[in-house]
Amino acid sequence: MAGGNRKRIRIAASLLSADFSRLAEEVAVCEKGGADWLHVDVMDGQFVPNLTFGAKIIETVRKLTRLPLDVHLMVVQPEKYFDDFAAAGATGLTIHVEAAPHLHRQMQRIRELGCSPGVALNPSTGLEAVREIVPDIDLLLVMTVNPGFGGQKFIPQMLAKISRARDMLDAAGSGATLEVDGGISRDTIAPAHDAGADTFVAGNAVFTARDPRAEIAALRDAVTVRV
Ligand code: DX5
Ligand code: ZN
């Protein structure tokens, strides 16, 4: 087993599944429920077949909470948005390697803007694509679904990839966060943690729960309470 309770875990509640007519309440529920981060999914209808939100929502959410805003850019030419998203109050900016041929430059630029640089990998993309820039990242996001929609099923074969990602970060002496995103539930969070992930994005699990606060606690318990 590569994982165990090596580090404190983080739950990043994904606003994609929130009720936007009650955004302030949904954000408050996450905060009161003990979410560590809020995950903001930016989609452009090109990199992924869905369209969501941009700087205006980041700015709005920023005013509603002090929680870190973990912004996940599923867009082509992500660099076009860095300045606006940083100014809007993003804490971390995570871009997809598949959309960023000049990843090293983009990581530096995100840091210059005062944000934490992260890189995401689609399920079909190998870890080799990011090995050379491990020293430049604060976060590695292993997608556990094909990005674009909430409520999809966790892809089990990603567990071996998470484990290899953990080994890659450890071998490089990196303290980067290893985040997983997609299909995280009470059932999948423990295997993902055991494989070595420390930060878990959860959208559907949290916002379709009758009691989202209790669900955040249940997700955390599923990895921290072991008998
Ligand atoms: C999917 C997004 C995810 C999404 C996860 O493309 O990147 O962040 O909100 O949602 P669930 O937890 O419902 O799979
Ligand atoms: Zn996401």
Tens digits of residue pLDDT in 83-106: 999 999 999 999 999 999 999 999
Q: Of the candidates 218, 216, 209, which has an alpha carbon nearest to the alpha carbon of residue 19? A: 209
d(CA 16, ligand 1 centre) in Å: 7
What is the value of pTM for the model shown?
Answer: 0.96
Q: Which atom of ligand 1 is nearest to 50's Cα?
A: 6
Q: Is the pLDDT of residue 227 over 80?
A: no
Hunting for tokens 């020293």 — which residue is that? 135
pLDDT tens digits, 146-190: 999 999 999 999 999 999 999 999 999 999 999 999 999 999 999
Q: Is the pLDDT of residue 55 over 50?
A: yes
Take atom 7 of ligand 1 and give the residue whose Cα is closest: 147
Q: Is the pLDDT of residue 75 over 90?
A: yes
Burial of 61 (0-12, 13-18, 19+ CB in 10 A): buried
Catalytic hit among 44, 70, 136, 181? 181
> How far is CA 123 from its chain centroid?
14
Q: Where is average pLDDT lowest: 5-19, 81-95, 116-130, 210-224?
A: 5-19
pLDDT of residue 225: 66
Is residue 131 a contact partner of residue 168, using CB atoms and an 8 Å limit?
yes
Binding site membership of 17 for ligand 1 (Cβ less than 6 Å):
yes
pLDDT of residue 21: 97
Take atom 6 of ligand 1 and give the residue whose Cα is closest: 147
